[in-house]
Structure 1
Amino acid sequence: MSAIRDYVQQPFGTFTGLFALQVAADPEKTAVLCGDAGISYRELDARADRIAAALQRDGVKPGGAVAICASASIDYVAVFIATLRTGAAVAPLSPSATAEQLAGMIADCGASHIFTDAAVSAHLAPVAAGVGADFIALTEGARGAPLEGWMAPEGARPEPVGITPDMAFNIIYSSGTTGTPKGIVQSHRMRWPHNQLTDPPGFGPDAVGLVSTPLYSNTTLVAFLPALAGGGTVVLMPKFDARGFLELAQQHRATHAMLVPVQYQRILAVEDFDAFDLSAFRLKYCTSAPFSAELKAEVLRRWPGGLIEFYGMTEGGGSCVLVAHEHPDKLHTVGKAMPGHDIRVIGPDGRELPPGEVGEVVGRSGSMMTGYHGRPDKTREAEWISPQGERFIRTGDLAKMDADGFFTIAGRAKDMIISGGMNIYPADLEAVLMEHAAVADASVVGVPSKDWGETPVAFVCLSAPDAASADELLAWANAKLGKMQRLADLRIIDELPRSAIGKVLKRELQAGYAAAG
């Protein structure tokens, strides 16, 4: 194990290098479980070798790209590792994107191969003829050559490839409602620090990580990859449901999980949550969406183990960490800048703001995207250059820093409501609404106003049917809000529209409100 410790502590190494050391250390240990199937480190290593050798046989070279668009599975994991072994970048794509968007992403990253399952193949059918990549079928009924017959023979190994820090590790596409989303290129240099979570209190050989978020998401990768790099066992849950999560956690004695806030909310709402044995948990992680102080407190009170919230972007830059179990008085924040991360708040004029003032968050660290694939103009827009000439990544988030260095998020800059010339931060209004016992979830958006330019409207999900009326909640909230913050309207809905990783789709709320008149 000393070889692994020494490797992790290097300034730079690779996931594949660390994974190889774990294979050598405990080859028969279970690496991945999915449903009734499981695979050892030795078996996963051999399967990844066969896939990598086949990719090289097909002409895949360092600097290329291979796309995967499918539900989570053991073979998904094997293809991911195999692609890295060829020196190509992995492009994990969201099955929820439109067929046209997926075709655009495959073309944009220049993928030579696209690995799909039957459901995604059917989804892609209308555009498949125009896709230039070779289709490889991960499941029966999927388009292309079946994986089992396409792979190189048993015992095949790929030609070794040297990996340098600036080579692309993966290309993750940003969510987008129109056109082709931007491809975020993350280098091996950017990914390497994530593997150093293998040391306590992160993922080690005795860790059991329960993965219930999609494998195409950076949210998942920052926990999934370190679990394998650390020699632990990953339990895949291809489709999340709250009770199923609890059953898997209890069955496999899960020690770690990365979840988004809406998942925590749904899990804790399971009627007999407290009857499940979750005592093996050491750490839960959270990221990707606003995490209310009240929900964090409930997680800490009812769920064994610590809670760590990460704040950051797929693009990288500066990240914050809140070790919630150590700072119960800071649950309203996203924590402090991680070691080695430089986070600042700037005003509309690009000048740095002092603590206590709200502005856009910009960050700089060793974990920064190379840029948006083929989009130098969008890359420049995402950058802020300090007076000293240092490159920072703009987050688009509005926040303020307190005297202790903890950051409180006020919302997205594009979601800020300007009403009568005054700035209204939706997060402030949502926090007030969530104080009401009848409110289970809430989101505030700006809608056009003849008198004010924009005005805030709330969408609320109730904690129980008929727990309160819209008029009651509107009056209650406006009595607590400042005059310029008051809501123009409040609508009760069954569920907020969310992305696969829990972000509220505010544009859908705005469009629905406009359509309803």
Structure 2
Amino acid sequence: MLASDFATLPDLIRAHARGQGDKIALAEAGGELDYAGLDALMDRVAAGLQRDGIAQGSPVAIIAAASIEYAAVFLGALRAGCVATPLAPSSTGEALVAMVADCGAAITFIDADAATTLAGQHVPGKLVHLKSLATWLAPEGSVPAPVTIAPQDGFNIIYSSGTTGTPKGIVQSHAMRWAHIARNAAAGFDSAVTMIATPLYSNTTLVSFLPTLGWGGTVVLMKKFDARGYLQLAERHRATHTMLVPVQYHRIMALPDFDSFDLSSFRLKTSTSAPFSAALKADVVARWPGMLLEYYGMTEGGASTGLNATAHPDKLHTVGVPLPGHEIRLIDDEGNEVAPGEMGEVVGRSPTMMTGYHGRSEATAAAEWHDADGNRYIRHGDVGRFDEDGFLILMDRKKDLIISGGFNIYPTDLEVVLRQHPAVSDCSVIGVPSEAWGETPVGFYVLDTGVAASAEEIRQWVNTQLGKTQRLSELHAIEELPRSAIGKVLKRELRDRLAGEDA
């Protein structure tokens, strides 16, 4: 089946259940489930959805922390031909209700924390609590009515983080997810024990979670990430694969006793979703066994790049080269391609592009760029350039570019320098309005434990390392940078914080 041109994930799991039914598919702190058990549970979920009148093609919303029950509902919805729609439980109750209404889900599965968040809210459709899932499920032995799934049918709707505005539902097809699974033929997922320490509503997580199950490996779920707990779980399960975001790598590598854990079973570590500093990559390569791959891409699809940090220690400042079948071009503000070596906005195309934003044709069109031959590309929103070897160097998010006195300032350039100060453990730079310059850079930093330095001392030190037009006008200490669940710094919250202080 994996050698075919197209297969669905529910069918792959059924094949594994028949061929290796006693192999563990899902594990968590409280238990585990083998492939035969997962297949049967998916049948009961699918039959339950059909019993409740949830039609093929309908969204099924899930608001919960990662768990075996969550995974079974997600996969069971796919078996019924429905569109899995995982939503971020960290969102406000109002935002969650808006997303459920936007996608049109007639049924929503929630856990206890989500129930608290939604208290007093009117959620459209039916609510099912995962704690009472057993009473909702179709009876044991139930088999759903078979459905035929076409490659372009909806697999899932992933909502954007909303860090730059109202979250948009990104529709991804079974064909796209099949491409994610099939392209990992050489990644060893058939014998993998994959640590999942990021939320299941995130595409970051799904690009490891889905191939592991598609190839018949084992997924180990963490409800909530903490660095030492992660290492203990990885050691206990003899983990071989993982996907972590850069801030998680940072917290793990900073543990004083990191080197005391036996991580020799690891074969592949991956990262995506946020800037990954060259120094941190080098530390992971040096002290953590197994290959380190960094992926750059976006939930909407576009194109992705990959950097084998283990094999290219001289390219750690880049995000690698386009993956096979992926194409990236760089364009200027007028939509024209830039000359080789010049900076431009990243646009990409690949077999893994979104169908579009759910119910938002104008937003879909705004996210697209077409070349002279009419080929469709997705705008990544990043500015970058290719080096002489074809490795992509990202400068910054286009929206985060600071224009001060007519000069372009890339916050990442300033953050690289700020992070080098021994008193700084984490940092971010934003642009704020300035009467004199139009915009001016302002920094935020988290003080490293046990190191004494004032904000002004650090600011002056940083400014001696920067060009005259790049210098920080202000620097503020902060206990912790606001981040999304997958590690992206929420710069809008930093701007709001400054605005609140100035009010």
Matched, 1:341 2:326: yes
Shift of 1:34: 1.1
Matched, 1:201 2:201: no
- Give, in whole Å, the separation in 2 of the partners of 1:133 and 1:14: 28
- Give, in whole Å, the separation in 1 of the partners of 2:271 and 2:116: 33
Residue 8 of structure 1: SS of its match in structure 2?
coil
Maintained 8 Å contact 2:64/2:110: yes
Alignment partner of 1:506 out of 466, 469, 491: 491
1:31-72 deviations in whole A, cap 9, x for unaligned?
111113111100111011011001011112221110010111
- Give, in whole Å, the separation in 2 of the partners of 1:179 and 1:450: 26
Alignment partner of 2:207 out of 222, 229, 254: 222
1:184-228 deviations in whole A, cap 9, x for unaligned?
000111111111255232411x21001010010000000011111
Residue 410 of structure 1: SS of its match in structure 2?
strand
Shift of 1:354: 2.2
Matched, 1:40 2:43: no
Matched, 1:135 2:121: no
Q: Any residues of structure 2 matched to 1:28-177 within 5 Å, and which? A: 28-127=22-121, 130-139=122-131, 146-176=132-162
Q: Percent identity?
A: 58
1:234-254 deviations in whole A, cap 9, x for unaligned?
111000000000100111100
- Change beyond 3 A, Cα 1:178–1:289: closer
Maintained 8 Å contact 2:422/2:451: no
- Give, in whole Å, the separation in 2 of the partners of 1:428 and 1:10: 46
- Give, in whole Å, the separation in 2 of the partners of 1:134 and 1:200: 42
- Give, in whole Å, the separation in 2 of the partners of 1:308 and 1:467: 35
What TM-score, normalized to structure 1?
A: 0.95
Shift of 1:174: 0.6
Shift of 1:180: 4.4
Matched, 1:19 2:13: yes
Maintained 8 Å contact 1:105/1:180: no
Matched, 1:248 2:228: no
Shift of 1:91: 0.3
Give, as a single letter, the amino acid of the residue that structure 1 aligns with 2:117: H
- Give, in whole Å, the separation in 2 of the partners of 1:378 and 1:433: 36
- Give, in whole Å, the separation in 2 of the partners of 1:274 and 1:339: 35
Maintained 8 Å contact 2:48/2:137: yes
1:290-339 deviations in whole A, cap 9, x for unaligned?
00000000000111111001100000011000011111110000100000
Give, as a single letter, the amino acid of the residue that structure 1 aligns with 2:198: T
Matched, 1:458 2:443: yes
Residue 189 of structure 2: SS of its match in structure 1?
coil
- Give, in whole Å, the separation in 1 of the partners of 2:444 and 2:3: 48
Shift of 1:353: 1.0
Shift of 1:179: 6.9
Maintained 8 Å contact 1:197/1:203: no
Shift of 1:178: 8.3
1:377-415 deviations in whole A, cap 9, x for unaligned?
000000001111110000111111111111111111111
Match of residue 239 from structure 1: 224
Give, as a single letter, the amino acid of the residue that structure 1 aligns with 2:136: W
Residue 138 of structure 2: SS of its match in structure 1?
coil
- Give, in whole Å, the separation in 2 of the partners of 1:59 and 1:147: 17
Shift of 1:107: 1.1
**Range 442-451 or range 429-438, more displaced:** 429-438
- Give, in whole Å, the separation in 2 of the partners of 1:374 and 1:123: 26
Shift of 1:482: 1.0
- Give, in whole Å, the separation in 1 of the partners of 2:445 and 2:164: 26
- Give, in whole Å, the separation in 1 of the partners of 2:212 and 2:409: 41
- Give, in whole Å, the separation in 1 of the partners of 2:270 and 2:389: 23
Alignment partner of 2:464 out of 476, 479, 483: 479
Matched, 1:366 2:351: yes
Residue 159 of structure 1: SS of its match in structure 2?
coil
Give, as a single letter, the amino acid of the residue that structure 1 aligns with 2:124: G
1:483-507 deviations in whole A, cap 9, x for unaligned?
1111111112221110000000111
1:425-447 deviations in whole A, cap 9, x for unaligned?
10111112222233221111001
Alignment partner of 2:294 out of 309, 325, 332: 309
Match of residue 479 from structure 2: 494
Match of residue 143 from structure 1: none
Maintained 8 Å contact 2:22/2:36: yes
Matched, 1:321 2:302: no
**Structure 2 runs not aligned, ≥5 long:** none
- Give, in whole Å, the separation in 2 of the partners of 1:18 and 1:278: 30
Residue 456 of structure 1: SS of its match in structure 2?
strand
Maintained 8 Å contact 2:180/2:352: no
Match of residue 167 from structure 2: 181
Maintained 8 Å contact 1:104/1:180: no
Give, as a single letter, the amino acid of the residue that structure 1 aligns with 2:50: Q
Give, as a single letter, the amino acid of the residue that structure 1 aligns with 2:272: T
Residue 332 of structure 1: SS of its match in structure 2?
coil
Give, as a single letter, the amino acid of the residue that structure 2 aligns with 1:194: H
Maintained 8 Å contact 1:198/1:229: no
Give, as a single letter, the amino acid of the residue that structure 2 aligns with 1:161: V
Give, as a single letter, the amino acid of the residue that structure 2 aligns with 1:188: H
Give, as a single letter, the amino acid of the residue that structure 2 aligns with 1:37: G
Give, as a single letter, the amino acid of the residue that structure 2 aligns with 1:25: G
- Give, in whole Å, the separation in 2 of the partners of 1:178 and 1:194: 27
Maintained 8 Å contact 2:430/2:441: yes
Shift of 1:132: 2.2
Matched length: 502
Give, as a single letter, the amino acid of the residue that structure 2 aligns with 1:195: I
**Range 353-362 or range 64-73, more displaced:** 353-362
- Give, in whole Å, the separation in 1 of the partners of 2:184 and 2:339: 36
**Structure 1 runs not aligned, ≥5 long:** 1-6, 140-145
1:77-113 deviations in whole A, cap 9, x for unaligned?
1101110011110000000111111111111111121
- Give, in whole Å, the separation in 1 of the partners of 2:166 and 2:395: 28
- Give, in whole Å, the separation in 1 of the partners of 2:314 and 2:497: 38
User: CA-atom RMSD, angstroms?
Assistant: 1.3
- Change beyond 3 A, Cα 1:402–1:177: closer
Shift of 1:12: 2.1
1:433-486 deviations in whole A, cap 9, x for unaligned?
222233221111001111001000111123234432222221121111111111
Maintained 8 Å contact 1:198/1:227: no
1:258-289 deviations in whole A, cap 9, x for unaligned?
00000000011112111000000001110000
